[in-house]
A and B are shown apart, each in its own frame.
Chain A
Amino acid sequence: MEDITKFLDMGGHAAFVWPALGVAALVVAVMTVTSLRALRASKIALGAAEAQAPQRRLRTGLTGTDS
């Protein structure tokens, strides 16, 4: 118990160390969630667009040409 209190106290600098690590964790979490959400939304949008135009799939500029 004493060890945990000592660890959390961070040598008297708890008020600086934990907020710093917390902010970093928060920013990383926000970047992760927004990026993964964008990927999921894009997959849904692409699926819907492909369902609408299945025959033209291979003829769009982004799929075929090797440059």
Chain B
Amino acid sequence: MFHRFANPARFSRIAARVLPWSGAATIALFIIGIYYALFASPPDFQQGETVRIMYVHVPSAWISMACYSFIAVMSAVALIWKHPLADIAARSAAPLGAGFTLIVLITGSLWGKPTWGTWWVWDARLTSVLVLFFLYLGHIALTNAFDNPQRGARAAAVLALVGFVNIPIIKFSVDWWNTLHQPASVTRLDAPAIDPAILTPLLLMALAFTFYFVTMLLVRMRADLNAMRARALRLSAAE
């Protein structure tokens, strides 16, 4: 199954066919999600209108962690089976992950000031997310640090796997340590502790961000595959 899509040429063809649909779905979901987030949902009884920051902050946080996990899995596949598409997937995802983590950090800070009374605290959750941001930057830097792209990909893959230890730390930091950041309220074993009026825009925005991430990932992977093919053609023409 994996191998069917792992052929670069076939992957590129499938991606080209999927992209218009995933792009359209992303735009539609963003329109509906933003409508619910800004207009069709009430202010929170404690956070007031600042709850609207959560509709961007929380989905970005989910994507930033999911993206890193994806990179770690792709890195393992690239290191074990040496599949070029896995390297391309990891390399294409890293800048997106960095962007989402930046959104998490800035929106979290802008929410923290009116709600907690501070822009930043060095507690476990906030610090581990900052570490995630630096891991992404490190991954991007390592990928581009070598003249030989394969060496860069290998170094970045090792970093991604070592850095994966940070993901459970982020997830469980609010349970393991006494932090200012509140514990999970959606992903719990029992029912989510959020009213449907708040949960609806949150999940819609999460869906929009997920579609957006997948669409941009496919765009970047296609760009990378095209560039690799162009390079291979130029090399073979020069021979």
Asked if residues A21 and B56 are in contact (CB atoms below 8 Å), the reply is yes
Asked if residues A20 and B56 are in contact (CB atoms below 8 Å), the reply is yes
**Main SS class of interface, B:** helix
Asked if residues A17 and B103 are in contact (CB atoms below 8 Å), the reply is no
Please tell me the number of chain B residues within 8 Å of chain A, measured between CB atoms: 46
Residues on the A chain within 8 Å of B107, using CB: 20, 23-24
Asked if residues A42 and B56 are in contact (CB atoms below 8 Å), the reply is no
Given A20-B56, A23-B106, A27-B103, decide whether A45 and B230 contact each other with a Cβ distance below 8 A.
Answer: yes
Name 14 interchain pairs, CB-CB below 8 A, sorted by A: A10-B49, A12-B48, A13-B48, A16-B111, A20-B106, A21-B53, A27-B103, A31-B99, A34-B95, A35-B216, A42-B223, A42-B224, A49-B229, A60-B233
B53 touches which of A17, A38, A46 (Cβ 8 Å): A17
Please tell me the number of chain A residues within 8 Å of chain B, measured between CB atoms: 42
The chain A residues found within 8 Å of chain B, CB to CB, are 10-13, 16-17, 19-21, 23-24, 27-28, 30-32, 34-36, 38-39, 41-43, 45-46, 48-50, 52-53, 56-57, 59-67
